[in-house]
A = this chain, B = another copy of it.
Amino acid sequence: MSEHSPVTTLAEDDCWQMLHDQEFGRLAFHLADEVHLVPINYAIDADRRIVFRTAEGSKLLGLTMNADVAFEIDEFTEEVARSVVVRGRARQLEGHEEDETELLPLRPWVNTAKFNVIVIEVDEITGRQFGLTRPWLHMRPPHEE
């Protein structure tokens, strides 16, 4: 990555690898006219869908009313940040489809007996890597970090 192109595109395979490696992401969805953003614990199933559980009524309502969602994961070091954004459609699983998700490694962040299982069917996946610079450090006298 040259100094003059701090943003590069990640290959789709690398995006999927990051989705498989991680388990914590952020979901954006509509609720009436508002946009909402919540952290979720997720897993990727055998059909490359993003699966998560929720016990929250409003969150679920938002997904039911507006299936269009965006989902993001990222990782970063001192030098680079990588972000993968998925666009897709969310729907609630029921019956045998729901049962099939029981062996996925999903952490139950909300401790209730009843969970709703939601899947996001992925329409689009894009990843970017950002080179991070700290220009304001040049404004300061040299120092030990």
Name A's B-contacting residues (CB within 8 A): 4-7, 24, 26, 28-30, 33-39, 41, 66, 68-72, 74, 76, 81, 83, 85, 87, 103, 105, 107-111, 130, 132-136
Minimum C-beta distance from A14 to chain B (A)? 16
A108 to chain B, nearest CB (A): 6
- In the complex the two chains form, is A130's CB within 8 Å of B105's CB? no
Chain B residues positioned under 8 Å from A26 (CB to CB): 26, 28, 37, 72, 74
Check A85–B134 contact: CB distance below 8 A: no
Tell me which of B24, B35, B37, B72 contacts A30 (CB under 8 A): B35
Contact A107 B85 (CB under 8 A): no
The one of B28, B39, B68, B111 in contact with A81, judged by C-beta atoms closer than 8 angstroms, is: B39
Given pairs A107-B135, A109-B132, 14 additional interface contacts (CB within 8 A): A4-B111, A6-B109, A7-B109, A24-B74, A24-B81, A29-B35, A30-B30, A34-B87, A35-B68, A35-B69, A36-B70, A39-B81, A81-B109, A109-B130
- Complex Cα distance A6/B55, Å? 13
Q: Are B38 and A110 in contact (CB under 8 A)?
A: no
A35 to B63, CA, bound (A): 12
Q: How far is the CA of A78 from the CA of B24 in the complex (A)?
A: 12
